[in-house]
Amino acid sequence: MRRAVAVRLSALLAAGALTAATGVALSTTTASAAAGGVTGYATQNGGTTGGAGGQTVRATTGTAIHQALCSRASSSTPITIQVEGTINHGNTAKVSGSSCNTAAGVIELKQISNVTIVGVGNGAVFDQLGIHIRESRNIIIQNVTVRNVKKSGSPTSNGGDAIGMESGVRNVWVDHVTLEASGGESEGYDGLFDMKDNTQYVTLSYSVLRNSGRGGLIGSSESDTSNGYVTFHHNLYENIDSRAPLLRGGIAHMYNNHYKRLNESGINSRVGARAKVDNNYFEDSKDVLGTFYTDAAGYWQVSGNVFDNVTWSSRSGDHNPAGPNPTSNTSVSIPYGFTLDGANCVPNVVAQTAGANKGLKVSDGSCTPQSPDPTDPGPTDPGEPTDPGPTDPPAGTNLSLGAGADGSSKASGTSYGNVVDGNTGTYWSPSGSTGSVSVKWGSATTVSKVNIRLASGSGTIGAYRLLNHDTGAVLASGSGAGTVSFSPASLKKITLEITNASGTPRIAEFETYAS
């Protein structure tokens, strides 16, 4: 049980309810990747692109956010929702549709994929209203503030979590956000950033978590150990009692975070969890790393951290801090690249970069904040189809020849088998702008490259995903046709899922190669 909250702040002033209409403003742009670039574990498992390649929508109410999700062609059609203003209970209603599953009083990202929510203009504040991600994948949340979400009292939302994820969630990037409360469980609040029930491949970067009894958890109970592969970097945890985070099973990587006034405990690794803790700055805090409130031990690998005015309790029973001289008791291999700032400069770098409305500044490891690259491609006009470029096949054997084919959504007069017949004069088309076609084999086949060839008169592929149909893993995503490479995968079936298009695509050949 969590100890009594040590520090309390007066409640934040709640903004008044907006009375704006729930209309949605549609622009004629497609969404580009979020500024600064995805990092950490969210780059794995096929990567995290959010709404890239889809339509951009402007919303000033929670109802408008839901309406944007429900107006898509399908639950996987990419979309970027630009949010400005205060989102609260007064302007967040349930909206129904075949491409959404929403609810009143919470921003519901349920059973959907390929969505970006980004604060713009004068900023976006979700006031006493949480963001719930369930059974969803490929989600980006950026440049927003979520505050004072309650599980008891009034009003309540999202079980008291500012951002909560559960039930098979995959690939979420939360970046440059501010998550805050005004106390702990006794005041009605719960966690700021929670993951449970098989949530994986998540990154929390350049964000502020403050004034809460609970920073967040990975795993809701000692038996919920299917979560993990989470990266936390360049975040500020300030005035948090515990759970910074609580990790039950799985792997987490914490680097270049500034932990300030952790009042009871910090990184709590339990039940076989493994935490890699690199170049963080812990300040004015207590028991910042260890296994707490359980006898089911977790593990850690530590390097380059600074402990500034950190106090350590004696080990006793279910309270096992790693200090006063933390040493590694496991080894964690990290599959992605990252550059560390020196721990001594972390407070300064994080102060200038972390949180909403900081200009999306990032660090390149030089201890000097950098503005987003101005050369990053901006939105493009979907009315101007891009040239897919040459589609000459890669060297090697086209494994699709002689393989089987199937799919979903087939236009009249076209055939799935046309994509594996070696004839560019025949093709498959979806019945509309979205659909999928698969190549399949009788036994596992290693594939690391595909080439998508379009037939004459084809529409343009606005966005697609390549899926390992056996596991559901995203191998690659992008737009247009041509050749794409990815990490070798052994599979019996590979699927091209078209999620957005200009006109009707005509896929002449879906070629697959081992290398």
DSSP labels, 438-484: EEEEEEEEEEEEEEEEEPTT--EEEEEEEEETTT--EEEEESSSEEE
Single-letter amino acid, residue 370:
Q
What does DSSP assign to residue 399?
Answer: T
- Cis (ω within 30 of 0) for the bond into 388? no
Give me 3's structure tokens.
């100890």
How many residues make up the chain in this entry? 515
Single-letter amino acid, residue 355:
G
* H or E element that contains 347: helix 346-353
Place of tokens 């501010």: 178
Contact 357, 119 (CB under 8 A): yes
Can you tell me the distance from the alpha carbon of 263 to that of 256, in angstroms, rounded to the nearest whole number? Answer: 20
* 299-326 burial: b if 16+ Cβ within 10 Å, else e: bbbbeebbbeebebbeeeeebbbbbeeb
Question: Residue 396: how many CA atoms within 13 Å on its side-chain side?
Answer: 14
3-state helix vs strand vs coil in the chain, percent to 5:
5, 45, 50
Can you tell me the distance from the alpha carbon of 115 to that of 117, in angstroms, rounded to the nearest whole number? Answer: 7
Listed in sequence order, the residues at least 6 apart from 401 whose beta carbon sits closer than 8 Å to its beta carbon are 420, 421, 422
Give me 328's structure tokens.
């590694």
In the chain, count H helices and then E strands: 2, 35
Terminal-to-terminal C-alpha distance of the chain: 53
Can you tell me the distance from the alpha carbon of 229 to that of 195, in angstroms, rounded to the nearest whole number? Answer: 11
Partners of 463 in the beta sheet?
500
Comparing C-alpha atoms, which of 280, 275, 285 is closest to residue 255?
280
Q: Which of 210, 243, 248, 453 is catalytic?
A: 243
Give me 189's structure tokens.
């609040």
* Cα–Cα–Cα angle for 351, 353, 358, rounded to 5 degrees: 110
Q: Is 8 one of the annotated active-site residues of the chain? A: no
Give me 7's structure tokens.
């520090």
Single-letter amino acid, residue 275:
A
Looking at the annotation, which residues are catalytic? 243
